[in-house]
A = this chain, B = another copy of it.
């Protein structure tokens, strides 16, 4: 008998199988040659099942990337904003510069120029929430007096993420940890904070 619970379990299993199949195919064939048919075959689910949950292969890969990104780049709070931003940005750089996630995200960014629904999904599922989380972590630091009261937090978030996207989309070598540390120090100093002595 199929209970709601076992149905839910099966859905989560199919979901994970679909995401994993999409990431594998992206690694093997490159984003451009991945098809929903191939994802379905690899995952052992029907095309109909995939289209019930996602609008396109881009949407499947966006969910796979978002799952990994959220898991790999938490906004920790050790009480030291410079340290926590370094941890976060280093994780973001690592994820977006390694297979399968880096090439998958590059493919998503390419496709969203032609696919308005995907562009909206990127904003709603990934960029919007992550931007808000980064701003929230900075706001907490501001409340704790580590950042001046008049600091422009959205600008700070763009100054932190901007250089990461810059290198990613231009296929330049990713930032090493020393460069990330320097970037974080520069952004905090630009806000009028003293990155050397948090708190």
Q: Are B155 and A166 in contact (CB under 8 A)?
A: no
Q: Is A59's beta carbon under 8 Å from chain B?
A: no
Within 8 A of B (CB), among A177-199: 179, 182-183, 186-187, 189-192
Query: With A and B bound together, what is the CA distance between A161 and B60 in angstroms?
Result: 30
Q: Are A112 and B171 in contact (CB under 8 A)?
A: yes
Q: Are B110 and A170 in contact (CB under 8 A)?
A: no
Q: When the two chains form the complex, which single residue of B113, B189, B192 contacts A192, counting CB atoms closer than 8 Å?
A: B189
Residues on B with beta carbons closer than 8 Å to the beta carbon of A158: 162-163, 166-167, 183
Q: Mark A134-170, 1 if CB is under 8 A from B, else 0.
A: 0000000000000000001001001101111111011
Residues on B with beta carbons closer than 8 Å to the beta carbon of A119: 171
Interface centre among A106, A114, A122, A191 (most CB of B within 10 A): A114
Q: Which residue of B lies closest to A160 (CB)?
A: B162
The count of residues in chain A whose C-beta lies closer than 8 Å to any C-beta of chain B is: 40
Q: Is A109's beta carbon under 8 Å from chain B?
A: yes
Within 8 A of B (CB), among A98-134: 103, 106-107, 109-114, 119, 122-123, 127
Residues on B with beta carbons closer than 8 Å to the beta carbon of A162: 158-159, 161-166
Q: Is A32's beta carbon under 8 Å from chain B?
A: yes
Q: Is A44's beta carbon under 8 Å from chain B?
A: no
CB distance from A154 to the nearest CB of B (A): 9
Q: Are A187 and B189 in contact (CB under 8 A)?
A: no
Q: Are B170 and A183 in contact (CB under 8 A)?
A: no
Q: Is A30's beta carbon under 8 Å from chain B?
A: yes
Q: Are A161 and B166 in contact (CB under 8 A)?
A: yes
Task: Please list 21 pairs of residues, one from A and one from B, whose beta carbons are closer than 8 Å in the complex, sorted by A's number.
Answer: A31-B114, A32-B114, A103-B113, A109-B109, A109-B169, A110-B110, A110-B111, A110-B113, A113-B171, A123-B171, A155-B179, A155-B182, A158-B162, A158-B163, A158-B183, A159-B187, A162-B162, A165-B170, A169-B169, A186-B190, A189-B190
